[in-house]
Amino acid sequence: MEQAPPDPERQLQPAPLEPLGCPDAGLGAAVGKEAAGAGEEDSGVDTMTHNNFWLKKIEISVSEAEKRTGRNAMNMQETYTAYLIETRSVEHTDGQSVLTDSLWRRYSEFELLRNYLLVYYPHIVVPPLPEKRAEFVWHKLSADNMDPDFVERRRIGLENFLLRIASHPILCRDKIFYLFLTQEGNWKETVNETGFQLKADSRLKALNATFRVKNPDKRFTDLKHYSDELQSVISHLLRVRARVADRLYGVYKVHGNYGRVFSEWSAIEKEMGDGLQSAGHHMDVYASSIDDILEDEEHYADQLKEYLFYAEALTVRTFSLKGMTTKLFGQETPEQREARIKVLEEQINEGEQQLKSKNLEGREFVKNAWADIERFKEQKNRDLKEALISYAVMQISMCKKGIQVWTNAKECFSKM
Amino acid sequence: MGTLGGAGLAAAVAASRARTLGMEGERRASQARSSGLPAGGADGDSQGGSAPFPGSSGSSALLQAEVLDLDEDEDDLEVFSKDASLMDMNSFSPMMPTSPLSMINQIKFEDEPDLKDLFITVDEPESHVTTIETFITYRIITKTSRGEFDSSEFEVRRRYQDFLWLKGKLEEAHPTLIIPPLPEKFIVKGMVERFNDDFIETRRKALHKFLNRIADHPTLTFNEDFKIFLTAQAWELSSHKKQGPGLLSRMGQTVRAVASSMRGVKNRPEEFMEMNNFIELFSQKINLIDKISQRIYKEEREYFDEMKEYGPIHILWSASEEDLVDTLKDVASCIDRCCKATEKRMSGLSEALLPVVHEYVLYSEMLMGVMKRRDQIQAELDSKVEALTYKKIDTDLQDRSWLSTLSYRIRSEEEIWRCATLHIYKMIFKLPEEIGKLEDKVECANNALKADWERWKQNMQNDIKLAFTDMAEENIHYYEQCLATWESFLTSQTNLHLEETSEDKP
C-alpha cells in the first residue's frame, strides 16, 4: 500500500490560517489580471517550509471564467466554462508578486483533484467544491449554470477551494496539487496514472473494517451525529433564507410601481406635482437597491454552503460505505472495473495478513484523523462566526440605505 | 311687479340686464322663487284683475305647472331658499354664497377645529340575529352644542342600510355636492363570511370617517336627514324614512336623467371639462395606488411569515454547537426583533395608508357621479329651454283663443294687430325670465360644485400628503429599529472578541 506523500520528517510549520470565511478576503486576490502586483493581501496563504514544492510565498487566484465549446468523451459538442488559475510568487522583501504560472481548468478537473485528495488523505477533512448546480435558489435567482452571476460565485468558490488546500499544512505539499496549478497538459493522465481509483475502494473498505471490529471511537460517533445535525440545520437555514430573500425582493420591487404612478399623477397636479414626482424617484431607487443587497447575501449563503458540503463529506467519509464508490468516481470505464475486480481477488487472498497490519495502521489513522478534525473544527468556528458577523454587517448596510431612501421620500411627501 | 305697459317692459328688461351681472340676478331670481309664482303671473294679474289675454293666463298656467316641477328639482338649492330658518342658526351658517370665492373663505373659517360643534363617534359593533337575517349595528354617539338639537348628547344604533339611506338622501338633496363615500357593501374576493372581525373593524372606521366628513362639510352638516339620522330612535327613523319622495320619484328622476344624458352634453363649460379630465386621471391613478398599496401589504405579510421561521433555526443550530452558541442565539434574537419591527410596520400601513387611499378610490367614483349629475342638470335644462322656447312660441301662435275675447266687441284690424304684437312681446320677454330661472339653477349647481371641488381638492392634498408621510415615517422607524438591533449585536461581538484576545495575551 502506498503511503501518501507527506513525509513525517519534514518540519511542519502550520500556515497562518487566514479567515477564509469572508469571501472578500479571497476576492482580494482574485480581481483579475489587472490586480496583478497591486499589493494584494496575502489571502492566498502559503507555507514556508524548506523542502516544500513551494520555494517562496505563493498566491493563488482563480481570476477569470470563460465559456468554451468542445467535444466530450462521447464526441458530442458541449459548452462548458473554463477558469483561469494564476499563481504568483511573492518576493520576501518588497512584497511584489510575480506571475509564475497561469492555466485554464474546468470544473471536472477540480473534481478529479478533489477525488484524488480524498483517496490519498483519508484522515484529512478535504475542502469541498462549490456546488455543481445552483441549489437553494430563490425564484428570481437563476438556476442556470451558464448564468453570469452563478459563474461568478462559482469562480470565487473554486478559488476558495484552492486557497484552503494551499493553507492546509499537509495538503499543500501534495505533488498532484502542485501539478494542478502548474502543468496544463497531461495533468489528467498523470492523476490517473497514480491509480488512485483502484486504491480507493480497497483502502476505504479496510479502514472502515477497523472501526467496525472494535468499539467505535466515541469521538467519531459524536462527530457523525454532529455532522448529521449540521447538515440538516444548514440546509434548513438555507432553504428558509432563500424564501425570505424571495419575499424581501417582492416588497422592494412593488414599491417601484409607486414611482411610475406618482410620476403620471404628478402631471395633473399643480401643487402636489413636484413632491409626487421626486418621491416617485426615491421609490425607484428603493426598488432597485434590493438587487445588490441580495447579491451580497448570496455570498453569505455560499459561506454557509461550504460548511454544508464539509458536513456532507464528513458524514460520507467517516461511515458510509455503500454507494461511496460510485459517489466518488461516477462512471467507471470497463477497464477500471476489470482492474478493480482483480485487486479484490488479490485482497481476498491476502485478507488475513492485512488485518494484522491494519490494526496498527488503524490506530495511526485515528490519531492523524482526529488531529485534522480538531483543526477543522477550529477553522469552522472561526469561519462561521465571521460569516454571521458579515451577515450582521450586511443587514446594517441594508438598514442604512433604507433609512436614507425613506428620509428623502418623506421630505418629498412633506413638501407636497 | 309693474304693469306690462312700459313699466312692466322696463322691469323685465332691467331684470334681464341685472341677470347678466350675475349676483343681483341671483338675488332677484331667488326672491322670485321664494314668492313662488312666476313674474309672468303677477304681470298678468296686474292687468286689472281680469285676464285680457286668456292666452297668456293659459300659458301662465302651463308655466306654473312646469315651474312646480322644477321646484322639486330645486331642493338642491335649498341653501338659497331656506332663508328664514338658516338665518337663525349659528352665525357661521352658510349665507347665500354669491360666488365660489366667498364660499371658500367661509369654508376655511368653518374648518377651524375650535369652531367644531358636532362630535360623532362610531363604535361597538353588535351582531343581531333575527329569523330572517343577521346584521350588524353600530353605536353612534353625537355630542353637540348646537341650538337646533334638542339635547347635547345622543346615542343611537344604526345598521349599514341606514347609512345607505342617509347617503341617498344627501345625494338627492345636493346632487352637485361631493358627498363622502361609504365603505363598500361587501368585498368580493378573499371573504369567507360577511362578518369577520377585520371586515367589521375596517367598515366601522370607514363609517366613522363618513359621518365626520359630513359633519365637517359646511353645507351637509345642516342637512335635516343627517340630524334625524344622528338623533332619532329606531322607530322614529323608520317612519321618517317612509316619507319623502321615495323610490318612485327617484326612479323618475333617474329616467329623466338617463334620457337627457343620452342627448349628450354640449356646452359643458371649460372649467368642468378640466375638472372632468382631472377626475378621470385621478381615478385611474388612485386605483393603481390602491392596488399597489394592498400588494405591498401582502408582500410584507408574507415576508413576516417567513421571518418568523428564520430566527428559530439559529436557536436549533446553537443546540449542536459549543463555541458558536452565543453568537447564534444573538443572531436569532436580532432576527426576532426585526420580525416584530416588520409587524409594526405592517400595522402602520394598514392603519394610516390603506384606508385613506381606499377612501379616495371611492371618492373618485363619487366624483364621477357628481360630474354626471351636474351634466344632467345642465342637459335637462338646456333641452327644456330649447323645448320651451320653440314650443311656447309655436303653441302661443297657434292658440287663437285669445282672439275669441275680441268677439265681445268688434275690433278693427289695427287693434287686432296691436293686441297680437303686444302678446308676442309679452311672450318674448317672459321667456328670458323663465330661461333665466333655469339658468340660475344651473349656475347655482355649478357654483356649489365648484366651491365644494376646491374644498375637496384641498382636503385630498392634505390627506394624501399625511398618509404618505406617515408611511415614510413607519419605514424609517422600522429600519432604525433593525439598525439598532444589528449594531448592538456587532458591538457585543467585537467586545467579546477584544475580551478573548486580551485573555489570550500572556
**B68-79 pLDDT, tens digit each:** 333 333 333 333
Q: State the pLDDT at residue A408.
A: 95
Which residues of chain B make contact with A406, given a CB cutoff of 8 A?
472, 475-476, 479
Portion of chain B with pLDDT greater than 70, in percent: 64
Q: Dump strand ranges (E) for B86-185.
A: 118-129, 134-144, 153-159
Query: pLDDT tens digits, residue range A167-187?
Result: 888 888 888 898 898 888 888
Does pLDDT of B450 surpass 70? yes
Residue A81 within a domain: yes
Provide the CATH number for the domain around residue A400. Answer: 1.20.1270.60
User: With contact defined as beta carbons under 8 Å apart, do B197 and B469 qualify?
Assistant: no
Position A17 in a domain: yes
* A225 shares its domain with A351: yes
pTM of the model: 0.70
Same domain, yes or no: A167 and A238: no
How far, CA to CA in Å, does B397 sit from each of B21, B57, B424?
32, 14, 8
- Domain edge (last residue) among A148, A164, A194: A194
| DSSP codes joined into one string, A322-352 | TTHHHHHH-SPPHHHHHHHHHHHHHHHHHHH
Among A249-263, B10-24, B411-425, the range scoring the smallest mean pLDDT is: B10-24
| pLDDT interval class at B124 (50, 70, 90) | confident
Q: Is the pLDDT of residue B31 over 50?
A: no
Residue B27: pLDDT over 50: no
Q: Of chain A residues 263-322, which have a CB less than 8 A from chain B?
A: 264-265, 267-268, 271-272, 275, 279
Report the residue of A222, A251, A411, A415 to disrupt the B interface, i.e. the one with the largest count of B CBs within 10 Å.
A251
Best of B308, B486, B489 to disrupt the A interface (most A CBs within 10 Å) is B486
Q: Both A308 and A396 in a single domain?
A: yes
- Gap between the Cα atoms of A181 and A169, Å rounded: 17
Quote the CA–CA distance of A53 and A176 in Å, as a whole number.
11
Tell me whether residue A166 is in a domain.
yes
Distance CA B470, CA A101 (A): 60
Q: Are residues A186 and A242 located together in one domain of the fold?
A: no
For the cut 90, the answer to whether the pLDDT of residue A196 exceeds it is: no
Query: What ipTM does this complex have?
Result: 0.74
The DSSP call for residue B154 is E
A53 compared with B422, residue with greater pLDDT: B422
Bridge-partner residues for A69, per DSSP?
A79
Which residue did the predictor score with more confidence, B410 or B286? B286
Per-residue confidence band for A120, with pLDDT thresholds at 50, 70 and 90 = confident
Q: What's the pLDDT score for residue A147? A: 78
Average pLDDT, chain A: 76
SS3 assignment, position A132: coil
Strand partners, A86: A61, A102
**Cell 301662435 identifies what position?**
B397
- Buried-state track B17-27, b at ≥16 Cβ within 10 A, e below 16: ebbeeeeebbe
> Chain A partners of B473 at a C-beta cutoff of 8 Å?
410
Q: Could you tell me if A413 lies within 8 Å of chain B, comparing CB atoms?
A: yes
pLDDT of residue B101: 47
Measured CA to CA, the distance from residue A262 to residue A272 in angstroms comes to 10
Do residues A309 and A350 both lie within one domain? yes
> If you count residue pairs, one on A and one on B, with CB atoms under 8 Å apart, how many are there?
135
Separation of alpha carbons B280 and B274, rounded Å: 10
- In the numeric block, the cell 400628503 is attached to B465
Residues 6 or more apart in contact with residue A372 via CB below 8 angstroms: A123, A124, A125, A170
Whether the CB of B480 is below 8 Å from some CB of chain A: the reply is yes
Q: What are phi and psi of B403, to 5 degrees?
A: -65, -30
Per-residue pLDDT, A6: 41
Do A219 and A190 have their domain in common? no
Q: What does pLDDT average to over chain B?
A: 73
- Are A380 and A247 in the same domain? yes
The total number of structural domains that make up chain A:
2
Position A29 scores a pLDDT of: 33
CA contacts within 13 A on the Cβ side of B250? 13
Residues A117 and A264 in one domain: no
Q: Which residues fall within 8 angstroms of residue B408, CB to CB, at 6 or more apart?
A: none
Cβ(B215)–Cβ(B122) below 8 Å: no
Task: Tell me how close the Cα of A247 comes to any Cα of chain B, in angstroms.
Answer: 5
Q: Do B486 and A257 touch (CB under 8 A)?
A: no
pLDDT level of residue B175 (50, 70, 90 thresholds): confident
* A11 pLDDT higher than 70: no
Residue A131: pLDDT above 70? yes
Contact between A33 and A63 (Cβ < 8 Å): yes
Task: Assign B411 a pLDDT band (cuts: 50, 70, 90).
Answer: low
pLDDT tier for residue B107 given thresholds of 50, 70 and 90: very low
The answer to whether residue A202 is domain-embedded is no
Select the more confidently predicted residue: A167 or B413. A167
Residue A58 phi, psi dihedral angles, 5° rounding? -125, 155
Q: Write the pLDDT tens digit of every residue in B202-252.
A: 899 999 999 999 999 999 999 999 999 998 888 888 888 777 655 544 544
* Contacts (Cβ under 8 Å, ≥6 apart) of A304: A234, A237, A238, A384, A387
Please name the residues between 334 and 373 in chain B that touch chain A, using a CB distance below 8 Å: 334, 338
d(CA A175, CA A196): 14
For chain B, positions 404-423, list CB contacts with chain A under 8 A. none
Each residue of B329-339: pLDDT tens digit?
Answer: 999 999 999 99
CB A229 to CB B473 under 8 A?
Answer: no
Q: Does a structural domain hold residue A114? A: yes
Interface contact flag, A414 B493, Cβ < 8 Å: no
Question: Residues B144, B342: contact at Cβ < 8 Å?
Answer: no
Q: pLDDT confidence of B52, banded at 50, 70, 90? A: very low
Domain boundary among A163, A194, A225: A194
* pLDDT confidence band for B188 (50 / 70 / 90): low
- Angstroms from A178 CA to nearest CA on chain B: 35
- In this structure, are A333 and A392 located in the same domain? yes
**Pairwise CA distance, residues A69 & B423, whole Å:** 104
Q: Does residue B109 register a pLDDT over 50? A: no
User: Same domain for A284 and A342?
Assistant: yes
Query: Where residue A12 sits, what CATH number does that domain have?
Result: 3.30.1520.10
- pLDDT score recorded for residue A92: 63
| Nearest chain B Cα distance for residue A147, angstroms | 27
The answer to the question of residue A13 being in a domain is: yes
Count how many Cα atoms sit within 13 Å of the Cα of residue A275 in the half-sphere of its side chain.
18
Grid cell for residue A139: 425564484
SS3 content of chain B, % helix, strand, coil (to 5): 75, 5, 20
Q: Give a yes or no: residue A159 inside a domain.
A: yes
**Which of A175, A178, A212 shows the shortest CA–CA distance to A196?**
A175
Q: Is residue A385 part of a domain?
A: yes
Contact of A142 with chain B, judged by CB distance below 8 Å, is answered with no
Identify the pLDDT of residue B106: 43
What is the identity of the amino acid at A98?
V
Residue B299 banded pLDDT, cuts 50, 70, 90: very high
The DSSP-derived string for A21-90 is TSHHHHHTT-S-GGGTTS---TTS-----TTSS--SEEEEEEEEEEEEEEE-TTS-EEEEEEEEEEEEEE
- The pLDDT value given to residue B496: 75
How far is Cα A283 from Cα A278, in angstroms, rounded to an integer? 9
Per the CB < 8 A criterion, the answer to whether B154 and B237 are in contact is no
Provide the domain limits for residue A103: 1-194
- The answer to whether residues A16 and A61 belong to one domain is yes
Cα–Cα distance, A245 to A247 (Å, whole number): 5
| Contact state of A261 with B489 under an 8 Å Cβ cutoff | no
| pLDDT value of position B57 | 41
**Per-residue pLDDT at A203:** 61
Q: Tell me, yes or no, whether A231 and A180 share the same domain.
A: no
